[in-house]
């Protein structure tokens, strides 16, 4: 059982490290101090189990867990936290167990057994984020590593076959998510301009009619205008009025 610890408190990591050393058949493959570091370490080391703190700076444990739910192979996630108020959110993020600090040896042993059972019948089904749990980043997998793209840096999202192309401040990346699920999660930030395209509301400068008669959206950071479908024109005009 390959295990990764993610906790911003050195003493907490040390305690988990000592407890894991007492467990047979367990190998500690990496440690991380926040969610971002944990995701990169998981992409590199492919742990079977992630012991994940919830309250961490930057990308917290709950958001990291929602990203990990889309990993293949998907690691088991066990939250280790000083608070019990996040239990419901933890299981919504597909955690298999929830340990309250200070973690007791017998509870950790039980969680490891659950992780072994999970690994034996591992599922790759992704978790749909809840309405009050919007992510702050999108996660693009890049040949064994990953890139975390801040949502605030995304200009527009365009469906292309089974992928979505994320056009952002530093370039373009592919993610394996559906445009529909992204619209459901980030509908307050993005507006649909076409069946295959969502645009950040603040990116829209104006709507204009092209030489072919089709309406186009001009973006602040777009190299070229984007086509607006006929069914989206009326709603988009109303959106632009209130920008």
The sign of the torsion formed by the CA atoms of 180, 202, 34, 107 equals negative
Same-domain pairing of 113 and 213 = no
| pLDDT value of position 129 | 46
Which of 120, 136, 166 finishes a domain? Answer: 120
Kindly state whether residues 113 and 176 are assigned to the same domain.
no
CATH code for the domain of 85: 3.40.50.2300
Q: Residue 205 and residue 226: Cα distance in Å, rounded?
A: 12
* Rounded distance between C-alpha atoms, residue 84 and residue 101, angstroms: 9
- Give per-residue pLDDT as tens, 26-55: 999 999 999 999 999 999 999 999 999 999
User: Burial code of 32-55, b = ≥16 C-beta within 10 A, e = fewer?
Assistant: bbbbbbbbbbbbeeebbbbbbbbe
Asked whether residue 146 is assigned to any structural domain, the reply reads: no
Give a yes or no: residue 137 inside a domain. no
Question: In this structure, are 158 and 57 located in the same domain?
Answer: no
Q: Please give the backbone phi and psi of residue 2, each rounded to the nearest 5 degrees, phi first.
A: -90, 125
Let me know whether 10 and 112 are in one domain.
yes
In which domain, by residue range, is 96 found? 2-120
Whether 11 is covered by a domain: the verdict is yes
Distance, CA of 225 to CA of 106 (rounded, Å): 60
When divided into structural domains, the chain yields a total of 2
Q: What is the pLDDT of residues 142-195, one digit of tens each?
A: 776 789 999 999 999 999 988 999 999 999 999 989 999 999 999 999 999 999
Strands 49-52 vs 2-6: parallel, antiparallel or unpaired: parallel
pLDDT band at 82; cut points 50, 70, 90: confident
pLDDT of residue 60 exceeding 80, the answer is yes
CATH classification at residue 192: 2.40.50.1020
Considering the domain architecture, whether residues 88 and 159 belong to the same structural domain is answered as no
Q: Is residue 222 part of a domain?
A: yes
The answer on 24 and 109 residing in a single domain is yes
Q: Is residue 141 in a domain? A: no
Report how far Cα 172 is from the mean position of its chain's Cα atoms. 17
pLDDT digits (tens, 9 = 90+) for 108-128: 999 999 999 999 886 444 444
Same-domain pairing of 104 and 204: no
């Amino acid at each position: 059982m390959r295990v990764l610890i993610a906790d911003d408190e050195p003493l907490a990591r040390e305690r988990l490290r000592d407890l894991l050393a007492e467990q047979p058949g367990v190998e500690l493959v990496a440690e991380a101090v926040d969610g971002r570091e944990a995701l990169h370490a998981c992409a590199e080391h492919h742990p079977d189990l992630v012991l994940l703190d919830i309250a961490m700076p930057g990308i917290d444990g709950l958001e990291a867990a929602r990203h990990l739910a889309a990993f293949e192979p998907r690691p088991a996630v066990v939250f280790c936290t000083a608070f019990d108020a996040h239990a419901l959110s933890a299981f919504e993020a597909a955690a298999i167990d929830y340990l309250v600090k200070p973690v007791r040896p017998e509870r950790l042993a039980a969680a490891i057994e659950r992780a072994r059972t999970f690994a034996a019948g591992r599922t790759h089904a992704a978790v749909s984020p809840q309405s009050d749990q919007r992510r702050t980043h999108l996660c693009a997998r890049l040949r064994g590593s990953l890139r975390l793209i801040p949502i605030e840096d995304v200009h527009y999202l365009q469906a292309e076959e089974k992928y979505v192309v994320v056009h952002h401040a530093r370039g373009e990346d592919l993610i394996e998510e559906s445009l529909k699920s992204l619209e459901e999660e980030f509908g307050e930030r993005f507006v649909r301009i076409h069946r295959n395209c969502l645009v950040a509301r603040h990116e829209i400068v104006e709507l204009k009619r092209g030489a072919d008669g089709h309406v186009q959206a001009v973006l602040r950071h777009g190299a070229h205008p984007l086509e607006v479908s006929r069914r989206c024109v009326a709603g988009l005009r109303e959106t632009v009025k209130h920008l």
